[in-house]
Every structure is written in structure tokens, then in C-alpha cells.
Structure 1
Amino acid sequence: MRDIKMLLERWGGWAAAGQHGLGYASVAAGFRGLVHARGVKRPVCSDNDGMILDGCISRLMKVNKEQHDILVAHYLYQISLRSIARRRRCADGTVRKQIQTAEGFVCGVLSALECRLECEITD
């Protein structure tokens, strides 16, 4: 079974490192006051893995933009689920369910692609 949280954390570190031309802003819209500059180095995945994961996450945007936005806010911009819930004026549990569904979607797309990611092999 895939550790989808680890994969998405590494994707977030990879996408945040930039230089890939993916078009992610440095701070998520509406969260400018909540995100602080972090000097902590984040784990990253390889460029190949990052592109595969980014493709899966892009498919999520076509299916459910709200879940996509929550996934990106949490894993790319490292905004806590509680802060996301507060900003959206909904319960924490609602956001947790949405992110679990989004993680399941990404995991399902990866399974459908039948590919092994490099960061899964090295761990």
C-alpha cells in the first residue's frame, strides 16, 4: 500500500522549490497572512516523480476543484487543516474528509497508471 501522505509531502516540497514552470504562486490566495517563511528544508521527490504526481493532482482539479485547492494549500503551502477550515468557515472534520477523498483520488490515479515512483523504491 502506498504512503500517499509521504508522496504528497515530497511533491509539495518539490513544487515549492520552484523552477519547474508549473505556475504555483509562492503563497496561496487568501492565505497570505497565515503562511510564514520557513527556513526548514522540506523533503522533495525527483523531477520525474514530481511531474507524475502533479499530473495526478491536475486530474483532481478537473474532477473536484475544491478538493484540489485544499490538497494544494495543505501539502504545497503547508497550511494546517484547521486554518483551511477556519478560512472556509466550515468544520475541521469536513476539511479532513475532503483531503482524505483527494488523497484517495490521487492514489487511485497512481494505481491506474501502474507506475512505481522512485521515492517509493528508495524508502
Structure 2
Amino acid sequence: MNRDRDMYEVMERWGAWAASDNSGVDWQPIAAGFKGLLPYGKKSRIQCDDDEGIMIDSCVVRLKEHRPEECELLIAHFVIGISLRTIAKRKKCSDGKIRIELQAALGFVDGVSRTI
């Protein structure tokens, strides 16, 4: 994997891959928590390949163990396709707080992926 990659793009491709029932991360309970919210997602999403998907999956599992709220945010945004603004409204906090949490989660996944 290219180490100069844009983690946001990597996670968008992983989210499409995970949403296609490839992921080992149990994200359905998180989806149930956002039931009734329409995703902003594109109809046709570019997916990562299985090797990258499995590797990112393992990083997300580690995130879930250490920072479950940030994992929930990644899944809501990248897998389910819920906008950050909608997530912020649902959690009754600012968009800025959600963006900071997203950056922390992306940093965690990126850091763990570099050790694999």
C-alpha cells in the first residue's frame, strides 16, 4: 500500500467494500442505531481490493477495542454513508467535534496500518 495515501479516500473505499458484506467488523448494530437516517452515499462506490480491505478491517477492529465511539463514527460515515453533519445533530454536538473525532480515528487506523 502507498504510504502517502489519503486516509479519507482509503476509508471511503474500505467503507464501500465493508458495506458489500466483505467486512469482518460487526457494523450492523451500529447501523441499527442510525435507523431512519438516509445516507448521503453515492449509488456506485469504488471499493478497495480484498487485501487492503482485510488489512483496514484489522485496524478498525483494534480501534473498536480501544476507542469504540470513534469506530462507530467511522462505520456510520464510511460504511453506512451518513454525513458528518447528520451524525453531529444525532449526537447533539458540533460538526467541529465530529470532524476532530474523525481525524483522530483516521490517524489511529493510519498508524496501525503502518505497523502491519
TM bracket, shorter-chain basis: 0.7 to 0.9
- Greater fraction helix: 2
Question: Secondary structure at 1:96's aligned position in 2?
Answer: helix
Q: Taking structure 1 as the reference length, what is the TM-score of the superposition?
A: 0.82
Q: Distance in 1 between matches of 2:96 and 2:65?
A: 24
From the superposition, tell whether residues 112 and 19 of structure 1 become closer, same or farther in structure 2 (CA, over 3 Å): closer
What's 1:101 paired with?
104
State the shift of 1:10 in Å. 0.5
The answer to whether the aligner puts 1:6 opposite 2:9 as a matched pair is yes
State the shift of 1:48 in Å. 1.4
What amino acid does structure 2 have at the position aligned with 1:23? D
Unaligned runs of 5+ in 1: 114-123
The answer to whether the aligner puts 1:64 opposite 2:67 as a matched pair is yes
Q: Distance in 1 between matches of 2:42 and 2:98?
A: 27
The answer to whether the aligner puts 1:87 opposite 2:90 as a matched pair is yes
Contact 1:27 1:35 in 2 (8 A): no
Q: Distance in 1 between matches of 2:23 and 2:63?
A: 20
2:38 to 35, 41, 45: 35
State the shift of 1:18 in Å. 1.2
Q: Distance in 2 between matches of 1:74 and 1:38?
A: 9
Structure 1 residue ranges (4+ consecutive) displaced by more than 6 angstroms after TM superposition: none
Larger Rg: 1
What does 1:9-20 align with in structure 2 at a 5 Å threshold?
9-19=12-22
From the superposition, tell whether residues 111 and 22 of structure 1 become closer, same or farther in structure 2 (CA, over 3 Å): closer
In angstroms, what is the RMSD of aligned CA positions?
A: 2.1
From the superposition, tell whether residues 111 and 38 of structure 1 become closer, same or farther in structure 2 (CA, over 3 Å): closer
State the shift of 1:22 in Å. 4.4
Q: Distance in 2 between matches of 1:27 and 1:104?
A: 21
Q: Taking structure 2 as the reference length, what is the TM-score of the superposition?
A: 0.87
